[in-house]
Amino acid sequence: MILTKSSQDLYGEYTARMQKIADVKFSAAVLQWDQETYLPPKGAEFRARQLATLSEIAHEWFTAPEFGQLLEELHSRQQLPENQQRNVALSLEDYNKQKKFTPAFVRRLSEAGSRCFHTWLQARSANSFALYRADLQNMVQLKKEEAGLAGYEHHPYNALLDQYEKGATVSLLDKVFNEVRQPLKDLLTRIAGCPLVNDDFLRGDYPKQQQWDFGMGLIRQMGFDFEAGRQDLSEHPFTTNFNSLDVRITTRVDEHDFNSMTWSCIHETGHGLYEQGLPADYYGLPLGEYASLSIHESQSRLWENNIGRSSNWWKTLYPRLQSIFPKQLNTVSAAQFYQAINKVQPSLIRTEADEVSYHFHVMIRYELEKKLIEGSLSVDEIPAWWNEHYAAWLGVTVPDDKRGCLQDVHWSHGSFGYFPTYSLGSFYAAQFFAAAQNQVPGLNDSIGAGDTQSLLNWLRENIHRWGRRYTSEELCLKATGKTLEIKYFLDYLLDKYDNIYKF
């Protein structure tokens, strides 16, 4: 019967189904957002099964054989407009990946994730890896099963990497990380030879409400639309969306640390601006989705580092900050402030790391995940392995698991293979920002005047509006004229720290 229908009728059926699946997925996103912001502790158990049921429905609908037939048939038709063809091709690709997992497996994964998340919260607060061990072990086991079901070549971790970054493999990432490791190591060594930057004033007394208000001002200034989104507090800052007209970001505020709120706030706003820039008229369809996680991260990193940690942006911003916190900052010059927010010092917490040592945090997790998934390291061995590598690669001593292997939420959600996209994001960010600077006349002057609208316009035009139409590399080529080159990132960093430290 399918064969007798017009392509447009079939495409209409495809759209309707995808959008209903999106309704269910985005409903789950609301429940997850609530779970991390407002859920009372006793609500966790039933919330887990509610999330599992929604995952199961979305998965069942998407992987139903008759939907596969519809996708196959639509894919074979030549008459569809290009954007429709692209949607169908991407959905078919997703279908072929997803159908490998049974609804029961998806449910197990979802339930394990909710349970593991709550155990993680408890373990972190109790500073006890032992509390977390069993649930994490279960999760690792499920991820190994998942890799087996998904199928892979060469390395089981490839199956997981591909879910977060299409085409990413152990051999590609090994190559990229090998390319940056030594130059970053050298840079760290050179900086270690310089006098230590003083940033004590950033850890003075910064009242919560004033920080929150300052953060909200930054978000607004960056162009986040509060009619189509909001910011709340959560343990671990994140961005989610229930459609591009309802984008939620979260932050945390530490009254003795100006950095904690500020950078997470700018970072998540970068993600949020991307989500708000995705085309709402493709609700539920691939072209309405983000390109990839590394591209997503390029947006947050670009705002956090290339803008947020630039002396240029703070030109107009710093006097405002001083007027909000006069007691804390009146004796601190703009130059001192700039050095402080760019202080490089290997430390324990990834999300608070400087731009140089950050990538060692990622590389440690990447190596560790590879071993966990290939089975050459057991969950029990994580803390020791972690601490050993922090000592060897970053020269820091991990005093406890809370500030060690319990610091990230990712594993509790089953996100193995996710961390590498953070580094890729930084690399893309540097290349994108260089292109924007080339292409937008007067961009640096505008940013120096506190106006980032023309940058946002460039991102909207070259990245956001395309949704998932292009792969990371296609998008990079289209926006910058070249596929990813690590040199942009290294040049940016070397240039920046040369200026700060006058090697």
Which residues in this chain contact a second copy in the complex, by CB under 8 A? 19-20, 23-24, 26-28, 30-31, 34, 38-43, 45-47, 49-50, 52-54, 57, 225-230, 232, 242-243, 245-246, 283
* Residue 373 DSSP symbol: H
* Least distance in angstroms from the C-beta of 147 to a second copy: 28
* Least distance in angstroms from the C-beta of 71 to a second copy: 20
Q: Are 103 and 59 in contact (CB under 8 A)?
A: yes
E-state strands within 188-238: 229-233
**Token digits of residue 208:** 């919560």
Outline where 332-357 has alpha helix (H).
334-341
- List Cβ neighbours of 476 (8 Å cut-off, separation of 6 or more): 428, 431, 432, 482, 483, 484
State how far the Cα of 223 lies from the Cα of 129, in Å rounded to an integer: 40
State how far the Cα of 361 lies from the Cα of 348, in Å rounded to an integer: 9
82 catalytic residue (yes or no)? no
Locus of tokens 């049921």: 53
H-helix or E-strand containing 272?
Answer: helix 258-277
Question: Given the complex with a second copy, which of 42 and 154 has the nearer CB atom?
Answer: 42
* Least distance in angstroms from the C-beta of 230 to a second copy: 5
Question: Given the complex with a second copy, which of 288 and 425 has the nearer CB atom?
Answer: 288
Among 56, 165, 268, 289, which one carries the catalytic annotation? 268
Collapsing DSSP to helix, strand or coil, 243 comes out as: strand
* Least distance in angstroms from the C-beta of 222 to a second copy: 16
**Cα angle for residues 248, 132, 52 (degrees, 5° grid):** 50
State how far the Cα of 62 lies from the Cα of 106, in Å rounded to an integer: 12
State how far the Cα of 489 lies from the Cα of 503, in Å rounded to an integer: 19
* Least distance in angstroms from the C-beta of 231 to a second copy: 10
Question: Given the complex with a second copy, which of 231 and 452 has the nearer CB atom?
Answer: 231
Question: Given the complex with a second copy, which of 23 and 374 has the nearer CB atom?
Answer: 23
Question: Given the complex with a second copy, which of 32 and 421 has the nearer CB atom?
Answer: 32
Sign of the torsion angle spanned by Cα atoms 363, 364, 365, 371: positive
Collapsing DSSP to helix, strand or coil, 361 comes out as: helix
Question: Given the complex with a second copy, which of 39 and 176 has the nearer CB atom?
Answer: 39
* Least distance in angstroms from the C-beta of 219 to a second copy: 13
Catalytically active residues, by annotation: 268
